[in-house]
Structure 1
Amino acid sequence: MGAALLFGQLLMVFTLTAFTLHKYGNWRKQNPLVTISTLISWYFAFIIIFLIPLDVVMTFYLQCRKTMDSGNGTKIANISLNTSSLIETLLSNIDVCKKPSSFISRNALINLWEFVYWTSQLLTWLVTSNL
């Protein structure tokens, strides 16, 4: 499910970027290489804006899982009232760390960040500077 949401988000960002370039750029009169490099540059800039919340959610979830797996997590007590006595039962292994709906593997997120970073560097220092 997380991969489908990420794909939809990337498609939405591409549509937003193409719309912005169409609105503010004079793409019919300029060189196609300039239009394509601008589209890619803006796309990766917008991707960063949309990836940061996903990265933050993933980090909080993984830290919560790490805390719960190490045994330092909070135990949730289930208190039930009987007519004769008060019984307290500690419930272990309750999933306090709810998995986010946008969950993707950590390696996929790291690879996406590296791809965005190095492509942006390549565009900044090699392609765009030579146009």
Structure 2
Amino acid sequence: MSVLMVVVICVLILRKYVSFKETSKVIYFCTFIGYFFPIFIFFLMPVDVVVTSHQICLWENVDMNETGCPVPFNYIPSSALTIIWNIVYWTTYVATWLVYPILQSYALSGEFTAWTKLKAAVKENAIFYLVAGGICLIIFVILYFTHRLESGLTVATTAANVWGIFVLIALLGYGLVDIPRSQWRRGNKYLRLKYCQYLLAGYHEDIETCEVTVHDTIKRINQYNLSIPKD
């Protein structure tokens, strides 16, 4: 049921902001996946909490009858929940660090063919991966010689989480500061007037440019009208 709700939400979002007929099916699918898994996490977290609470209840009441710990309506086995979390996490991980950066560079590339765009996108991201790989290698060496290297998977997961938390803090910090500041400036009538006067100069230049274009167009139309025989 949760999966169906997430699918409906993603389809409604894409229907509002994306044209299905004019957009490539590959891009549409990648965008759908990009919306699906982050939204699905919001539905999966309560299930995880319910399953954990039920297991704690069973552990604390081992000698009692299971009727003391009723099974929730959205309960799923712990093994299945682990598999779902692995699919969600690692799909999001690969998409975030490999698929979407290449697609973004591909879309912004100035090349003319699909193959050259793909090569440019891979080359651009390879530079980032080499720098990030060098930093990770240094971290691995430090952890190895300090005997704290448990597993490469743990380090990769931790690095991704640290990067995500850093980006989240940066974006939230910018939004929490910039939005109230912009609203504060909107409430200042003097600054608002100065800003409108600044925009007015640009609009005046645009109007003059449009007037010149209209006069040139009318002049050409008159010339064409005179050159065309009336008969």
Moved more, 108-117 or 97-106: 97-106
Letter in 2 for 1:128: Y
Aligned residues: 103
Aligned-partner Cα distance in 1 for 2:6–2:16: 15
TM superposition shift of 1:120 = 0.5
Give the corresponding residue for 2:134: none
Give the corresponding residue for 2:68: 96
TM superposition shift of 1:94 = 6.5
Gaps of 5+ in 1: 1-7, 72-91
1:55 equivalenced with 2:48 (yes/no): yes
1:44 equivalenced with 2:37 (yes/no): yes
TM superposition shift of 1:66 = 0.5
Give the corresponding residue for 1:23: 16
Gaps of 5+ in 2: 104-231
Give the percent of matched residue pairs that are identical in Structure 1 and Structure 2. Answer: 33
Aligned-partner Cα distance in 1 for 2:14–2:2: 18
Preserved contact between residue 58 and residue 66 of structure 2 (Cα < 8 Å): no
1:120 alignment partner, one of 86, 92, 97:
92
> Normalising to structure 2: TM-score of the pair?
0.42
1:68 alignment partner, one of 61, 66, 75:
61
Of structures 1 and 2, the one with the larger relative CO (CA 8 A, separation 6+) is 1
Letter in 1 for 2:16: K
> Normalising to structure 1: TM-score of the pair?
0.72
Give the corresponding residue for 1:83: none
The structure with the largest helix share of the pair is 2
Letter in 1 for 2:28: T
Structure 1 segments of 4 or more deviating over 6 A?
none
Q: Root-mean-square deviation (CA), in Å?
A: 1.6
Aligned-partner Cα distance in 2 for 1:12–1:94: 32
Aligned-partner Cα distance in 1 for 2:96–2:38: 12
Aligned-partner Cα distance in 2 for 1:119–1:107: 18
TM superposition shift of 1:21 = 1.0
Moved more, 27-36 or 96-105: 27-36
Letter in 2 for 1:68: N
Aligned-partner Cα distance in 2 for 1:94–1:32: 50
Task: Sort the Cα spacing of 1:94 and 1:113 in 2 relative to 1 into closer, same or farther, 3 A.
Answer: closer
Moved more, 118-127 or 59-68: 118-127
The structure with the largest strand share of the pair is 1
